[in-house]
Structures are given as structure tokens and as C-alpha cells.
Homo-oligomer: A and B are copies of this chain.
Amino acid sequence: MFDIATSGELLAEFMAAEKGQRFDSPGRFTGPFPSGAPAIFASQAARLGARVAYAGRVGRDGFGDLVVERLRRDGIDVTAVQRDPERPTGTAFVSYQADGSRHFIFNLAHSASGQQTLDENALEHLSACRYFHVMGSSLASRGAIEILLRLVARVKEKGGKISFDPNVRPELMVSDGAREALLEVLRCCDLFLPSDADLEWLANDGEDTDATVARLMAEHPMSLVVLKRAAAGCRAYTGDEVIEAAGLVVDEVDPTGAGDCFGGALVAALAAERTLPEALRLANAAGAHAVSVLGPMEGCSDPTTLERRLAAAGDIS
């Protein structure tokens, strides 16, 4: 029985060395870094002690070795991580712009990642979990959507909970079914983890954040919504209360993966029966630590790191 299981894109990421660096002329890049939103989430949860299982697919190449070895070293069960005999491991090139935005070149849909399959054995293996986490970024192809919806259904059958980070990224939402799949997971999740941008995308005309959350909780069976507000911390909505938890002040080095780390820490803490305020506090610290470290998955943190960061921020609880 796993505390947390997840499935989705695995890739090797290369980061442009200079701000504003272009993709159409030679420059310097650092990488490969293991990456993929669900992988960052899984790594963070595992580092906080959660028993985590992962399903995905990489190539039989050095980049694939890198990704699988990282998951394994974090203690993640990689039984359901496949190696494609022919297609290369997915890649992403990222360049930070002067205005803080990021430019990407992805090779994902036609990489090993896009060829992921899930047999009955793997489905049984992964669905034996307390929480199954879905990243909206993974709802990027018909194949990936089918795998995630089968997992969600099986986990619910067995009494597990679904956590969902919609993580709406227009550049990955290219398939026709992605929006529909996102709304389907939204309808059946227990724990919903949107950002302000995600809620804007889901809002009706003239509806503010609190009203959107209240409507979603009234329409769907979700019992907890945690709104991720980056540097501002987070706001949790349960049936009867709203809890604000302030963010930690850190020097931002690299925002990639911060929201994924926030989610990984939150679900790991809830799976470990921590109280909601404790879970929010750890999630804020994990997100803050993540932005202070260069590299998508390099900012995942263990409990000692989080306590040290909380202490440095003046939190002595």
C-alpha cells in the first residue's frame, strides 16, 4: 500500500545559462535535469517520507537513466516506469526571459513519454494507494488521459482519494480532449490544488476567487481546496472554514517546480495524518525552498531542510 501514487510525463530539462537567451542561436545550457511536473511532486512527497509509486516512460538512453535513477534514489517505486526500446527520453529546453516569463521547446508528445502504456498489473500496483495525484500538465494526449482516468477510477473503487493540480499550461493543452479530461478529474477529486490562474480559467463571468471555490465545492464532492498563491502562501477551504497561511520570504532563483513541490509536501503531510495547518505550513516551506534552488527537481526538500527554512523565516511552531 502506497501513501501516494502518480503517473505522467518524465523528461530531461536543459536550462539556458543567460536570461533572454534565444533558441535560434548557439548559447550555453545546463542539464540534463530530471523533470516533469508529476515527477517533481513525487520526489518532494518521497523526500518527506511518503511511500510513493510512479508510472511513466523514458527512453533507453542516458537521459532516461538519469530520470529513473533520481526517482529511485528518492525512494520512489519505479516498477511502472517503462523504458521505450526506440523513442528517446522526452526533453524540454527552457529560457528565462527578462520579464520573468519562460520560453520552452518541448519534445514530449513524440518522445518515449508519449508512448506510455499501463497494463492490468501496473494498474493494480499503483491503485493501492491512499492518494492518487493528477497533474493537469499530464492530460496532454489521448493516451495519457486514458491512463490517468483508468487510474483515477480504480483508485476510487478501492477507496483511495484523488488529489488534483490543474496546472493549466496552454502550450501543453494541445489535444482536443485535454479540457474535457481536466473537467472530469475536477468533478471527482477530493483535494483540489489550483493556482489563481487556474481559478480564473474556471471562473464564471464576474465571479471572484472565493465565489469560484465555493461554487466548485458545492457542485462537486471535493472536500478540500488549497489555493496556491506562490510567494503569498496559500489559502485552504474546507467545509466549514478558510485557513490562510502566509508565504516565506526567499530570494527567487528558479520558480520552476515550486507549485509541484508545494503539492507534494501538502499531500505527503496529509497522508501522514498531519493537521491541515501543519500541512499548509510545510507546503509553503517546500514551495519557498524550491524557488531558491536552480533546476526543476533540485529544490525538493527533506524535513530537516524545511524546518531550517521555517526557523529562518521566524516560524518557531
Measured CB to CB, the residues of A under 8 A from B are: 14, 17, 22-33, 61-63, 65-66, 69, 86-88, 91, 103, 105-107, 109-111, 295
CB <8 Å contact, B110 and A88: yes
Contacts of A22 in B (CB 8 A): 62
User: Considering residues A105, A106, A111, which has the most beta carbons from chain B within 10 angstroms of its beta carbon?
Assistant: A105
CB <8 Å contact, B31 and A29: yes
Q: Looking at chain A's contact residues, is the secondary structure mostly helix, strand, loop, or mixed?
A: mixed
Q: Which of B30, B33, B62 is in CB contact (< 8 Å) with A23?
A: B62
Given contacts A88-B106, A105-B61, contact A30 B30 (CB under 8 A): no
Given contacts A88-B105, A88-B110, A107-B88, contact A30 B33 (CB under 8 A): no
Given contacts A14-B29, A29-B29, contact A91 B62 (CB under 8 A): no
Q: Could you list 13 A-B pairs, sorted by A, with CB under 8 Å?
A: A17-B28, A22-B62, A23-B32, A23-B62, A23-B63, A24-B32, A26-B30, A26-B295, A27-B30, A28-B28, A29-B29, A107-B107, A110-B110
CB <8 Å contact, A24 and B62: yes
Chain B residue nearest to A68 in the complex (CB):
B24
Copies in the complex: 2
CA distance A63 to B14 in the complex (A): 14
CB <8 Å contact, A63 and B31: no
CB <8 Å contact, B91 and A110: no
Give the distance to chain B from A59, nearest Cβ to Cβ, in Å: 8
CA distance A69 to B24 in the complex (A): 9
Chain B residue nearest to A107 in the complex (CB):
B88
Contacts of A103 in B (CB 8 A): 62
CA distance A66 to B29 in the complex (A): 16
Give the distance to chain B from A89, nearest Cβ to Cβ, in Å: 8
CA distance A24 to B105 in the complex (A): 20
CA distance A63 to B95 in the complex (A): 13
Chain B residue nearest to A90 in the complex (CB):
B107
Q: Which of B23, B24, B65, B295 is in CB contact (< 8 Å) with A24?
A: B65
CB <8 Å contact, B28 and A29: yes
